[in-house]
């Protein structure tokens, strides 16, 4: 409601009070001087109170100029959001030879997102995300070490350029396949090939990549279906006599909020050697119900030189009141007949959310390596590589805070 006390009205009230005071004073013969002074002081106090009301109303109006829930601009941009996560775990782990206790950091990050709407059809977007390590500054990433990009979005979809996870990595079954935290995240080791890349398998590298110098297109969702396309040109190996190594990726995914299914592929040209491309295909499916989720994933990774792995994971979660129980199990096959380098992994986790931002969790996880395999846990900043055939394990208690 608009205040009736404008600056002009306040000035008029002041003049009236002074005039009234003067008339009262001139009739001092008919009234006591002390009574007149008390009346003047009372009027001045009332005027002061009215001024305070006007100032309060002005402050409230100015505050209402910023819509509720909208971030205050930090520069000439429109809508800068600061976000992040801190995730630390006290962990006891065993690489098969050495037992140790460590404070581990799991993908803590600090980010800035921005949007600027040019018109009804096009909006400019940006993101700068950096990995941080609250327990040890030496493990913090450089600026923009995580997904960082600039782009445009509209009814046509979204186009970005910068550094970003490839579609092969970001396909996670709508959160039903990759859902465990800390070192219990089996899909990253098994499906994305990170465990494969740590074995003695000849040049079978992981495909769970965050690609630099990448261009990506994300389609709008049509009938609950969306598509992602990615291309990374070769910027390093462009000199005469060198071999170009470009990266292509794509995914298509169905997600209606209950059911999810998707497939992704990636190809890194000349990765193993000239004419030998590292390639992979990944498929996921999941279902969400009132009390939990179930998910499955399958992938193949081929180095183009006679080495290939087949990998699968099953995962699920169940709500026990506010507590959430999660579990997953996966296997990666031998890279070739008789290679004896298969990998198995199991993870069990219990989450207790304190509020919508903070969760305390605990997990147990174990990797079982074949005689010639040496897969390790890839989640924390500090990694311990087992000897071939050793089976590392870990148990931890941590806290995750999102903001």
Q: What is the pLDDT of residues 384-395, one digit of tens each?
A: 999 999 999 999
Q: How many CB atoms lie within 10 A of CB 295?
A: 25
Q: How many CB atoms lie within 10 A of CB 88?
A: 20
pLDDT score at 239: 72
Output the six-digit token pair for 111. Answer: 């980010």
pLDDT score at 63: 42
Q: What is the pLDDT of residues 30-79, one digit of tens each?
A: 345 566 567 667 767 776 776 666 555 444 444 444 444 444 444 454 68
Mean pLDDT of 312-338: 96
pLDDT score at 39: 66
pLDDT score at 15: 40
pLDDT at residue 331 is higher than 60: yes
Kindly state the DSSP code that residue 389 receives in the 8-state scheme. T
The average confidence (pLDDT) of the chain is 86
Question: What percentage of the chain has pLDDT greater than the value 90?
Answer: 71
pTM: 0.79
Q: What is the pLDDT of residues 152-166, one digit of tens each?
A: 999 999 999 999 999
Mean pLDDT of 141-158: 97
Provide the pLDDT confidence category of residue 342 given band limits of 50, 70 and 90.
very high
SS3 140: coil
pLDDT at residue 336 is higher than 90: yes
First to last CA, the chain: 35
What CA–CA distance (Å, rounded) separates 87 from 346? 21
Mean pLDDT of 111-137: 95
Provide the pLDDT confidence category of residue 29 given band limits of 50, 70 and 90.
very low
Q: How many CB atoms lie within 10 A of CB 213?
A: 14
Within 8 A by CB and 6+ apart from 119, the residues are none
pLDDT score at 272: 82
Mean pLDDT of 369-374: 95
- Greater pLDDT, 14 or 103: 103
User: With contact defined as beta carbons under 8 Å apart, do 186 and 345 qualify?
Assistant: yes
Mean pLDDT of 197-213: 84
pLDDT score at 114: 96
User: With contact defined as beta carbons under 8 Å apart, do 159 and 188 qualify?
Assistant: no
Output the six-digit token pair for 308. Answer: 């290939």
Query: Where would I find the beta strands (DSSP E) of 256-307?
Result: 259-273, 276-289, 292-302
Provide the pLDDT confidence category of residue 238 given band limits of 50, 70 and 90.
low
Longest Cα–Cα distance of the chain, Å, equals 122
What CA–CA distance (Å, rounded) separates 205 from 197? 4
Give the relative orientation of helices 7-26 and 33-63 as an angle to the nearest 10 degrees.
180
pLDDT at residue 26 is higher than 80: no
pLDDT score at 375: 95
pLDDT score at 25: 38
pLDDT at residue 24 is higher than 50: no
- Greater pLDDT, 124 or 53: 124
9-13, 62-66, 69-73, 113-117 — most confident range: 113-117
Q: How far is CA 221 from CA 149, 175, 227, 257, in A?
A: 21, 17, 8, 13
Q: Comparing C-alpha atoms, which of 206, 204, 270, 265 is closest to residue 234?
A: 270
pLDDT at residue 365 is higher than 50: yes
User: With contact defined as beta carbons under 8 Å apart, do 7 and 50 qualify?
Assistant: no
Mean pLDDT of 252-270: 97
């Amino acid at each position: 409601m608009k205040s009736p006390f404008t600056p002009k009205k306040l000035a008029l009230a002041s003049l009236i009070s002074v005039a009234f005071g003067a008339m009262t004073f001139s009739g001092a013969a008919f009234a006591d001087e002390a009574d007149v002074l008390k009346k003047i002081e009372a009027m001045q106090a009332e005027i002061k109170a009215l001024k305070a009301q006007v100032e309060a109303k002005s402050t409230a109006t100015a505050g209402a100029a910023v819509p509720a829930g909208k971030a205050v601009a930090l520069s000439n941009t429109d809508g800068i959001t600061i976000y992040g996560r801190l995730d630390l775990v006290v962990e006891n782990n065993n690489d098969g030879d050495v037992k140790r206790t460590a404070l581990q950091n799991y993908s803590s990050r600090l980010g800035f997102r921005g949007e600027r709407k040019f018109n009804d059809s096009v909006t400019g977007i940006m993101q700068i995300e950096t990995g941080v390590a609250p327990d040890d500054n030496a493990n913090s990433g450089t600026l923009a070490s995580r997904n960082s990009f600039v782009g445009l979005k509209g009814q046509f979809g979204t186009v970005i350029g910068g550094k970003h996870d490839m579609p092969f990595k970001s396909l996670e079954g709508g959160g039903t396949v990759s859902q465990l935290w800390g070192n219990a995240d089996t899909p990253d080791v098994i499906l994305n090939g990170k465990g494969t890349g740590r074995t003695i398998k000849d040049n079978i590298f992981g495909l769970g990549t965050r690609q630099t110098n990448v261009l990506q297109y994300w389609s709008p969702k049509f009938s609950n279906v969306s598509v992602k396309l990615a291309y990374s040109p070769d910027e390093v190996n462009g000199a005469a006599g060198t071999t170009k190594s470009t990266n292509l990726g794509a995914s298509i995914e169905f997600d209606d909020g209950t059911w999810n299914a998707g497939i992704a592929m990636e190809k890194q040209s000349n990765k193993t050697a000239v004419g030998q491309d590292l390639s992979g295909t990944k498929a996921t499916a999941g279902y969400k119900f009132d009390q939990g989720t179930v998910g499955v994933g399958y992938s193949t990774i081929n180095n183009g030189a006679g080495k290939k792995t087949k990998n699968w994971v099953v995962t699920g979660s169940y709500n026990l009141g506010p507590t959430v129980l999660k579990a997953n199990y996966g296997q990666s096959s031998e890279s070739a007949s008789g290679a004896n380098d298969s990998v198995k992994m199991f993870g069990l986790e219990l989450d207790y959310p304190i509020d919508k931002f903070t969760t305390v969790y605990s997990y147990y996880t174990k990797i079982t390596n074949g005689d010639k395999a040496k897969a390790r846990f890839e989640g924390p900043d500090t990694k311990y590589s087992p000897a071939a055939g050793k089976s590392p394990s870990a148990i931890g208690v941590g806290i995750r805070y999102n903001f």
